Amino acid sequence: MTLEILTADCLAPLRHGFFTRRGGASSGVFEGLNCGFGSSDQHAAVSINRGRVAQALDVAADRLCGVVQVHSSRVDTVTEANPTPPEADAIVTATPGLAISVLTADCQPVLFADAEAGVIGAAHAGWQGALNGVLEETVTSMEALGATREDICAVIGPTISQRAYEVGPEFVERFLDDDPDNARFFANGEGGRYQFDLPAYGLYRLRSAGVGHAEWTRHCTYSDPARFYSYRRTTHRKEVDYGRLIAAIRL
């Protein structure tokens, strides 16, 4: 099966993609294009999958760079291939021939580009990273490499949608303590629970940061098991583990 790669017009002509799980070598609960070495999938299968992603981006496998994601606001600036990735949740570069990537399974994968300046970024933005400013820190790090904030395009890829993201009142309080206006990102659910709109919150943070354009691909990871891995769906099904989707961009 061939790879399925979701793209965004505003990131063109840069080669990029939000890769679905289709077209991979993994099997079982990981069936498809699992790109996460942090899963319990076979290392060889993940290596094959990552090699297919690198080939699709026309780079060598060792030039597909990533980070060890820890739900932080830290950003890694790379100038060459990073065989030992640091702990961070975003990555930026202005080096031609490098591809940068993040892994997700419900959290927001966000790809950034100022094509004219030749600066790109990728961020893993779950609720904690987004709340703590990983998106804004990515933009700031891109500016340090020569990007212009108003010329940056940012695209949120497949992520969990509001209808699938149920949270408790203590979760809501975290956001209201940060900004009472964050109440608009929550809808009433059942039994005193709430539904959180993570992509809307991500778009708000990006637009408030002053990027020139921000959009969401409008794909929900939870509701489409044939195409996307989902941590929350795996938890509800009581499966042993889950795969990781990859989003990547290169100069």
CATH number for the domain spanning 59: value is 3.60.140.10
Within a domain: 184: no
* Residue 30 belongs to some domain of the structure: yes
Task: Flag whether 66 is in a domain.
Answer: yes
Distance, in Å, from the CA atom of 249 to the CA atom of 57, rounded to the nearest integer, reads: 8
Distance CA 153, CA 136 (A): 13
Pairwise CA distance, residues 130 & 134, whole Å: 6
- Look at residue 168 and tell me if it is in a domain: no
Domain that holds residue 128: 5-161+197-250
First to last CA, the chain: 27
Write down the pLDDT at residue 83.
82
Q: Within a domain: residue 167?
A: no
Distance CA 57, CA 78 (A): 18
**Helical packing angle, 198-208 and 134-144, nearest 10°:** 40
Structural domain total, the chain:
1
202, part of any domain = yes
Q: Which residue carries 């780079």 as its tokens? A: 59
- Give the Cα separation of 198 and 127 in Å (integer): 7
**Are the beta carbons of 161 and 223 closer than 8 angstroms?**
yes
Tens-digit pLDDT string for the chain (251 aa): 699 999 999 999 999 999 999 999 999 999 999 999 999 999 999 999 999 999 999 999 999 999 999 999 999 999 998 888 999 999 999 999 999 999 999 999 999 999 999 999 999 999 999 999 999 999 999 999 999 999 999 999 999 999 999 999 999 999 999 999 999 999 999 999 999 999 999 999 999 999 999 999 999 999 999 999 999 999 999 998 999 999 999 99
145-183 burial string, b = 16+ CB within 10 Å, else e? Answer: bebeeebbbbbbbbbbbbebbebeeeebeebeeeeeebe
* 90 in a structural domain: yes
| Closest CA relative to residue 133, chosen from 61, 224, 58, 72 | 72
Any domain includes 236: yes
* pLDDT number for residue 1: 65
